[in-house]
Homo-oligomer: A and B are copies of this chain.
């Protein structure tokens, strides 16, 4: 650990380090308010920009969060949601929306050009017309934004159906598609990346500056390998744990996706 930084380290770095240690040691508990910036100026005997720069470092690390006009607070580290595969089986059971505890705002439903990163996994040309459903999900109680979601369906699959209407579907999307087409979801591929949010995502999800997002692109295919659906979700990264539970291969085998951890 970088305890006791030498006098050679930048001042803002030393301040950040002192506060970081107080947070780690519990002197500043999660949820607790930090001293006001002006108070820190007096305490550390440094200028306001220097103090603010130090706070900026801790903000970028996700340790604190500032609220305009109120104060700066130690963030509560909670990762509530666990996400992994297995969604299909449980949805077949319950016959209801996977995210029924969230309020769904359908912000768009209809046809449009497929974005390039989706076209890539679908194996079609960017700009090809597909059926798109975009949604924002909010916690029903706190009204906090939880997720930005979008589904992309080939026109052959969803064209002319109620999936082009901006209404919440009655059950999991894949069950609707199976009913409408008679085809079956057979194989899926998830692609997870973590990145910094765009300005739009940051404002929709009300993210504090410096908070990363988790972005998953989900591709579902039928028994012939044809794409039935691509959907993507974007969450604040600090609310997500991806869990993958699987048997260890006992025999030599070449997995579909190479390959190391």
Contact = CB atoms under 8 A, between A and B. Distances in A.
Interface string A164-203: 0000000000000000000011111111111111111001
A224 interface: no
Interface stretch (A33-41, A82-90, A122-130, A155-163): A82-90
A27 to B, nearest CB: 18
Interface residues of A, number: 75
A80 interface: no
A61 interface: yes
A87 B254 CA distance: 9
Interface stretch (A65-73, A104-112, A242-250): A242-250
A98 interface: yes
A89 B255 contact: yes
Contacts of A240: 193-194
A209 B10 CA distance: 15
Given A20-B199, A210-B196, A257 B86 contact: yes
A33 to B, nearest CB: 21
A104 to B, nearest CB: 13
A143 interface: no
Contacts of A87: 259-261
Nearest to A99: B260
Interface in A220-261: 220, 233, 237-238, 240-261
B86 A259 contact: yes
A199 B17 contact: yes
B253 A237 contact: no
B60 A60 contact: yes
B84 A257 contact: yes
Nearest to A100: B260
Interface in A54-68: 56-57, 60-62
A93 interface: yes
Contact of A84 (B1, B60, B259): B259
A16 to B, nearest CB: 8
B238 A195 contact: yes
A255 B84 contact: yes
Contacts of A248: 88, 184-188, 220
A50 to B, nearest CB: 12
Given A185-B248, A210-B60, A246-B85, A258 B192 contact: no
Interface of A: 1-2, 17, 20, 49, 56-57, 60-62, 79, 82-90, 92-93, 98-99, 184-200, 203, 209-212, 214, 216, 218, 220, 233, 237-238, 240-261
